[in-house]
Amino acid sequence: MHTWTKMRQKLEQEYLAESLKGRLTCFVTTYHAMHDGDEGRVAVRLDGNEILKSNFFERFAEMWKRYDAMQKDPDITDAWRKSASQAIESGAFYQNDFYRAFHALDNQSITESLSSENALVRMLALLDRRTGKRTLAKLRDRMAAEPQWLQMIYYIRLEAEGMPLPTERKPMKKGILFDLDGTLWDSSAECTEAWNTVIREQVGRPEQFTVDDMHNFMGRTMEAIAALMFPALPEAERLHILDLCTAHEHDYLRSHPAKLYDGERAVIAELAKEYALGVVSNCQDGYIEIYLDQCGFSERYCDHECAGRTGLSKGQNIRLVMERQGITDCIYVGDTQGDADAAKEAGIPFIHAAYGFGRPDFCDAAIRDISGLPEAAASIFESVKEN
C-alpha cells in the first residue's frame, strides 16, 4: 500500500485529467491522537474550495443508521458490508475508504473503475485522464442515476473539458430556479441581528450593520461580502469573522424563522404542477436547508445548490442543477444584478423579482410580487418555444 504522499502524487500528477491539473486537489488526514487512532477526514478541493468533504464520524453515523434499518429485514444478508457501501454512496466516507478506492483504481482498468460498485472509485475514474471525452459523453444518461455529489464531480469534469450540454433534442423539461434572499424569503432582519451579535460579543469589533447594509450584501459571494464589511482587514481574518457570523446566523434562524412572501405557498404549489423547481444561491452550505425546513412545502422543490458547497459560480450551479434534473428549458428568478448576471452566464432567461433588494440593469420580465410569476413564466416559455 502506498503512503498518502505517494497516493496523492499519483492521483494529482499521473492520473488526474490535464484539464484539472493545478485546480483540483485531494486532502486526506488521520487524527492519530484520537481514541481509536483511525479517525480522519477527506476533502476534494477545486480552486482552493472544498467541494466535497466527509469524515470518520459522518461515515459511521450514516453506516450505523442504515445497518440498524437493515436489521429489521430478515431477508437482508451481509448487512454490515451493504450499509458501508450505502454510506459511501450517500457521500459519507473517511480516509481509509479513500485509500481503498485509490488502491482499486491503481490495480484495475479504467473501464472496471467506471463501473465499480464503490462510488468513490467511480469518482476517481471520472477525474482520470484515461476517461476521455468520448467516454464522458457516453456516460451522460447513466449519470442521471448517480448520487448528486458524484453528478457534481462529473459536471466539473465536463466544464473543465469545455464539453457542452447534450445538443440532441430530448423531450422538453421545463424548470424554474430561484434565488433565495429577496426572492423566496426576507431574512435580512434576522441575519443582521445574528451578525451584529457575533461582531460585538464574540469578535469585539465596533462595526454594526443595518438591514439596508444586509440588503446590499445579499446575493454576493462570501468573499465579496467580507470585503465590504471589513475592507481594512486581511482577507483571511475577515473571512474568519464572516464564518463565525454565518454559523450563528444558521442557529438564530432555526429559532427565529424569516418571513416568506405573501402568497408564496400557493404560487409554488401551482408552479410545481408544471415545472421542475429548485433553489440556487451564493450562500453557505446549510442555509437553503433552513429555508426548506421552515417553508412548509419543501417537497415542491426537486433540487437545490449553493456556492458554499460546490465552490462554483451561481451561473455554473444553475447549469449543474439543470444537468442533474434533465431540465432543457429553464428560467432563473432573482432580485439582484448578480442574479441577472448568473442567468446570463447560464444562458437562460431572467425574471426580476422587483419586490426584492436589487435593481438589475436587464431582465426578460419583471414581477411586482410573487403572484405574478406564473403568468410571466408561461409567457417566456411560450416565446422560447416560438423561437
Per-residue pLDDT of the chain (387 residues; tens, 9 = 90+): 467 888 899 999 999 999 999 999 998 887 665 555 567 888 899 888 888 888 888 888 888 877 776 665 555 567 777 888 888 888 888 888 889 999 999 999 999 999 999 999 999 999 999 999 999 999 988 887 888 889 889 989 998 999 865 444 455 789 999 999 999 999 999 999 999 999 999 999 999 999 899 888 887 778 889 999 999 999 999 989 988 998 898 999 999 999 999 999 999 999 999 999 999 999 888 999 999 999 999 999 999 999 888 888 999 999 999 988 989 899 999 999 999 999 999 999 999 999 998 899 999 999 999 999 999 999 999 887 665
Looking at residue 145, the DSSP 8-state letter turns out to be: T
Sole residue written with cell 473517511 = 94
pLDDT at 61: 83
The whole-number pLDDT of residue 215 equals 86
Q: How far apart are CA 335 and CA 17, in angstroms?
A: 38
Burial code (b: 16+ CB inside 10 Å, e: under 16) for 315-334 equals bbbbbbbbbbbebebbbbbb
Cβ pair 76, 70 in contact under 8 A: yes
Cα dihedral across residues 146, 273, 313, 316: positive or negative: positive
Residue 82 · residue 70 · CB < 8 Å: yes
**Residue 176 in grid coordinates:** 424554474
b/e 60-80 (16+ beta carbons within 10 angstroms → b): bebbeebbeebeeeeeeeeee
Domain parsing of the chain, residue ranges: 4-161, 174-184+258-386, 188-255
d(CA 101, CA 120): 6
Which fold does the domain 174-184+258-386 belong to in CATH?
Rossmann fold (3.40.50)
pTM of the model: 0.60
Q: pLDDT tens across 279-309, in order? A: 999 988 899 999 999 999 999 999 999 988 8
Identify the pLDDT of residue 113. Answer: 95
| pLDDT score at 278 | 97
Q: What is the pLDDT of residue 81?
A: 78
Measured from the Cβ of residue 247, the count of other Cβ atoms closer than 10 Å reads 14
Geometric angle at alpha carbon 122, from 2 and 282, rounded to 5°: 105
- CA distances, 294 to each of 257, 297, 304 (Å): 7, 8, 15
